[in-house]
Amino acid sequence: MSDKKKEKDAPNPYKETLHLPVTEFPMRASLTEREPQRLAKWEAQGLYQQIQEKRRGSRKFILHDGPPFANGDVHMGTALNKILKDLVVKSKTMLGWHAPFVPGWDCHGLPIEFRVVKESTGLTPVEIRRRSEEYARKYIDIQRNSFKRLGVFGDWENPYLTLDPGYEADIIRVFAKLVEQDLVYRMKRPVLWSYGAGTALAEAEVEYKDKVSPAIYVAFNLAPTNLPVALEGASLVIWTTTPWTLPANLGIALHPDFDYVVGEFTNPENVAARFVVAKSLLNEFASKTGFSLVTELAQMKGREFVGLEAQHPFLPRTSKVINGLFVTADTGTGQVHIAPGHGADDYQAGRENGMEILSPVDGRGHYTAEVGLPDLVGKHVFQANEPIIALLTEKGALLARESYAHQYPHCWRSKTPIIFRAVEQYFIRVEQIRGKALEEIDRVKWLPAWGRNRIHGTVESRPDWCISRQRTWGVPLPVFYHADGTPVVSAEVARKVADIIEQVGTNAWFEKTDAEWAELVGLPEGTVKGNDTLDVWIDSGCSHVAVMDRHPELHSPADLYIEATDQHRGWFQSSLMLSVVARGAAPYKSVITHGFVVDTSGKKVSKSDQGNDKNAKPMTADHFYNKYGADLVRLWVSSVDYQNEVPFSEELFQQASESYRRLRNTLRVLLGNLDGFDAEKDAADPDQFTLVDRWILSQLENLKQECREAYDAYDFRKVFVLINQFCAVDLSALYVDITKDRLYCDATSGLRRRATQTAIHRITDALCRLLAPILSFTADEAWEYLGHQTSVHLEDFPELDPSYVNPEATAAVQELLKVRAVIQQAIEKARQEKRIGSNLEATVELTLPESGFQHPVFEALPTLEEFFILSVLTIKRTDVTEPSAVVLESPHQKCARCWKHLPAVGHQPHADLCDRCDEAVA
């Protein structure tokens, strides 16, 4: 033991004669410092432009960027999206395509306007727009910096913006096409209305949140006209959670097939009354209202009630009794209060039964004079529930009230509850383009495949598209109104507007007077322009026209769109619809969707959650690239299955860091072992490769092929796994470990050493290329240390060379690995028993079965000793079924240079060296 210690402490007199790895490539990545420097270098040399120039003339691959909203910082979901796109663009490029990437931003819309309006009230439309643009541009810059910092390549100095006059003009031209194809109509209709933001909302702008509403049971006395005997003196009973809509009640709907009981009811106060209640809800009705059935007078189907009328509880009119399939028996009474101006089903039912669209509420949610109750005029509808309940009580119509917690639609930005309110809106007749859109869906390749069903279902069931918004920050709906109020919806006029907008931007719509516009588009004096703007989904949905058709380096349809799964209903759909209108075909050939970023418990994480929770973990991309570096964010993206929900946590970054360190250190040791190696002069001939060299080069060939295929299939995770395995197992645990001896100890120009360096050079070259899309910074850095003056991003993936595929070597190594496991287990046992330390201190007696392990390598002891990293190995063949190994402490002296314990040590001119080392130092 003491001898061993002495050996350790003694400095190695031959260290200077060894070829230990030498490289300046730092072990510590210091990504947060180095990445910005590399970024600056790339920008200074115009790397993106260089790549474009180099690829010009190659087959094109167009990934069309879906524009993120120019609002807020880049959070991890956005980073995931953009990095996935970048992985596609970079890998397609290195696969030989010309893949230009023009990023874009969605600039208009309520969220931005809302922020501006919230800050200061009473702004003129022109001022709101000025501030909104300023706000959008501010966030475009912030986001652009983040995307660039993440190593995403693209034409960042010339992105597309939906607020560019040219883009805006194209939106209006698409509108003209809609008009031309008779797809636009105007109609008063209840729409989702945000009184907080003062606008109608798109379906996508609504979020569901918990809300407690007053739920009430209200009796409507049946009007005596034409009343069957059984119903004399009876009341229908409705249940509603929106008492404020009762002034607009015009009907009561029953399900045609439900059974209803007409009966005599009493409550604990001995109040008696005749009610109609769905049979299946009698118990619930009794428990909620206290009224239980005393005498059943009749049972009737819902359809038998049609045509009756009920007296409105507090207004001088009757409500129609109708049937509706939307009536449920889940809760309430099986009788539904119908206010056609305040609900989608109500509207539909009202239209079918000849009711008017009564909606006595203004844009701020206050009752208008139409409400019919002077006390309520000017009152906010959500302040009116109590007065109405009081009124119902006074009239004896209120049977019960309770607090009801439910999911209620809220405005996604102002967070205020949504109401349904009927206003004049413009719509696209979806029915006329639905068929073609559905056909086109099946021409597109959806990844994952279920995306097809998802968008198909969405398109199949979507109602007409409300495209008008009562907002300011958007592209104006190019319609005018005659002095008498009749609208001018004309493709020709719209195109004139577009031509002017193209020159001066849409601000002109708001800056010029009605008279000026009338003159510009050739309409009679007295014509006024409309105040509505277009739904922002129209904006982004036009990008295939406004971007792909306009940019000379792009083309339509795009080869690929990549967005999160919510865009099946969002951008994928709006783009599809408008592309069907504009060109009669889908705007994309294939579509990839990715999941949302979720935390480790599988819950959704979003930026707005953070606002509510001060302790929430940071979710913005800058936190992570400033703490870990962009390459780690990129490595995280490549390590997850993006088609599902994408797990995300600080811990996951630790995990990615471990993988990164392995990759980086592998690159470092490879580079270090290439010190003094000139690939031009020193490369070995292929016939000089030893078994391990042939094996690792065959593995590399395999890796190249599989990575190319995985990249081509957008399976970045597979690339990540393959490269990791290759570096951790094939290289680090085996090849590098095995060849250390020859690299360090053989003579500088020894054939085995040169062969190995030749292999290592090949490997390093390939790894840099294969890693470049993922570790864009690190691969480029290593590429530089490989002696290149230009960026790895200008290169192709390594070309396949089948001559390196070597099944013979692979089969041999597979057998060797089986034996290695046996030997290592035996050595480990000896080590645990403290009989030996390192492998080289052991002498191993290997027993192999007579059959099997027949590869010639099993006759070549030096090769085996090298492969198993042993000083001395002996082999015997006996009649056993499995290999076994016995480990003994080596009786030989340790070579002071290569640390092997060999019999030759002590007999050389240098008494403390083995043969090989003696020769090497000579």
Site for RNA in 191-250 (CB under 7 A): 203-204, 206, 208
**Counting contacts by CB under 7 A, is residue 655 touching RNA?**
yes
- Minimum CB distance to RNA smaller for 374 or for 602: 602
**Counting contacts by CB under 7 A, is residue 26 touching RNA?**
no
Residue 600 CB, shortest distance to RNA, in Å, is 6
The residues near 413 (Cβ < 8 Å, ≥ 6 apart) are 110, 111, 114, 197, 205
- State the Cα–Cα distance between residues 873 and 901, nearest whole angstrom: 11
The residues near 437 (Cβ < 8 Å, ≥ 6 apart) are 459, 576, 577, 580
- State the Cα–Cα distance between residues 517 and 511, nearest whole angstrom: 10
Give the number of other Cβ atoms within 10 Å of residue 240's Cβ: 20
* Residue 915 near residue 905 (C-beta atoms within 8 A): no
Give the number of other Cβ atoms within 10 Å of residue 254's Cβ: 27
Secondary structure in 3-state letters for 629-683: CHHHHHHHHHHCCCCCCEECCHHHHHHHHHHHHHHHHHHHHHHHHCCCCCHHHHC
- Minimum CB distance to RNA smaller for 47 or for 700: 700
**Counting contacts by CB under 7 A, is residue 565 touching RNA?**
yes
**Counting contacts by CB under 7 A, is residue 919 touching RNA?**
no
In the list 2, 6, 9, 28, the residue contacting RNA (rule: CB under 7 A) is 28
Report 872-901 residues binding RNA (CB under 7 A): 896-899
Distances in Å between the Cα of 24 and the Cα atoms of 15, 37, 682, 775 are 20, 17, 21, 19
In the list 450, 609, 796, 922, the residue contacting RNA (rule: CB under 7 A) is 450
Secondary structure in 3-state letters for 431-465: HHHHHHHHHHHCCCEEECCCHHHHHHHHHHHCCCE
Residue 140 has, within 13 A of its CA and on its CB side, a CA count of 22
* Residue 565 near residue 594 (C-beta atoms within 8 A): yes
In sequence order, what DSSP letters do the residues of 240-271 get, joined into one string? ES-GGGGGG--EEEE-TTSEEEEEEEE-TT--
Residue 332 CB, shortest distance to RNA, in Å, is 14
Residue 598 CB, shortest distance to RNA, in Å, is 6
Position 645, amino acid: E
The residues near 354 (Cβ < 8 Å, ≥ 6 apart) are none
Residue 793 CB, shortest distance to RNA, in Å, is 25
Residue 369 CB, shortest distance to RNA, in Å, is 30
| Size of site (CB under 7 A) for RNA | 83
In sequence order, what DSSP letters do the residues of 465-508 get, joined into one string? EE-EES-SSS-B---EE-TTS-EE--HHHHHHHHHHHHHH-THH
Residue 671 CB, shortest distance to RNA, in Å, is 10
In the list 70, 548, 577, 745, the residue contacting RNA (rule: CB under 7 A) is 745
**Counting contacts by CB under 7 A, is residue 807 touching RNA?**
no
- Minimum CB distance to RNA smaller for 24 or for 737: 737
- Minimum CB distance to RNA smaller for 43 or for 828: 828
End-to-end CA distance of the chain: 32
In the list 49, 644, 814, 854, the residue contacting RNA (rule: CB under 7 A) is 644
Report 372-431 residues binding RNA (CB under 7 A): 407
* Residue 590 near residue 559 (C-beta atoms within 8 A): yes
**Counting contacts by CB under 7 A, is residue 123 touching RNA?**
no
The residues near 117 (Cβ < 8 Å, ≥ 6 apart) are 123, 128
**Counting contacts by CB under 7 A, is residue 274 touching RNA?**
no
Residue 58 CB, shortest distance to RNA, in Å, is 31
**Counting contacts by CB under 7 A, is residue 283 touching RNA?**
no
Residue 5 CB, shortest distance to RNA, in Å, is 10
Residue 737 CB, shortest distance to RNA, in Å, is 5
Contact range with RNA by CB under 7 A, out of 123-131, 307-315, 427-435, 653-661: 653-661
Contact range with RNA by CB under 7 A, out of 128-136, 503-511, 625-633, 729-737: 729-737
- Minimum CB distance to RNA smaller for 6 or for 834: 834
* Residue 426 near residue 535 (C-beta atoms within 8 A): no
In the list 41, 351, 482, 604, the residue contacting RNA (rule: CB under 7 A) is 604
539: alpha, beta or left? (left if phi > 0; alpha if psi -120 to 50)? alpha
Report 470-509 residues binding RNA (CB under 7 A): none
**Counting contacts by CB under 7 A, is residue 614 touching RNA?**
no
- State the Cα–Cα distance between residues 199 and 482, nearest whole angstrom: 24
Token pair for 414: 């102002």
Residue 201 has, within 13 A of its CA and on its CB side, a CA count of 27
Residue 208 CB, shortest distance to RNA, in Å, is 4
Block residue for tokens 């009679």? 524
Report 328-347 residues binding RNA (CB under 7 A): 344
In the list 372, 595, 750, 849, the residue contacting RNA (rule: CB under 7 A) is 595
Contact range with RNA by CB under 7 A, out of 44-52, 222-230, 253-261, 456-464: 456-464
Contact range with RNA by CB under 7 A, out of 137-145, 474-482, 640-648, 903-911: 640-648
Token pair for 395: 């009239």
Residue 823 CB, shortest distance to RNA, in Å, is 8
Spatial CA neighbour of 83 closest among 646, 505, 471: 646
* Residue 775 near residue 672 (C-beta atoms within 8 A): no
- Minimum CB distance to RNA smaller for 480 or for 571: 571
**Counting contacts by CB under 7 A, is residue 717 touching RNA?**
yes
In the list 827, 872, 902, 920, the residue contacting RNA (rule: CB under 7 A) is 827
- State the Cα–Cα distance between residues 47 and 151, nearest whole angstrom: 12
- Minimum CB distance to RNA smaller for 665 or for 810: 665
In the list 157, 658, 680, 799, the residue contacting RNA (rule: CB under 7 A) is 658
Residue 299 CB, shortest distance to RNA, in Å, is 27
Report 364-383 residues binding RNA (CB under 7 A): none
How many residues in total does the chain contain? 922
Report 661-680 residues binding RNA (CB under 7 A): 661-662, 665-666, 668-669, 672
Binding mask 68-107 for RNA (x = CB under 7 A): ----------------------------------------
- Minimum CB distance to RNA smaller for 170 or for 346: 346
- Minimum CB distance to RNA smaller for 380 or for 454: 454
Q: Are strands 418-428 and 465-466 parallel, antiparallel or unpaired?
A: antiparallel
Report 830-849 residues binding RNA (CB under 7 A): 831-832, 834, 837-838
- Minimum CB distance to RNA smaller for 16 or for 879: 16
Residue 403 CB, shortest distance to RNA, in Å, is 19
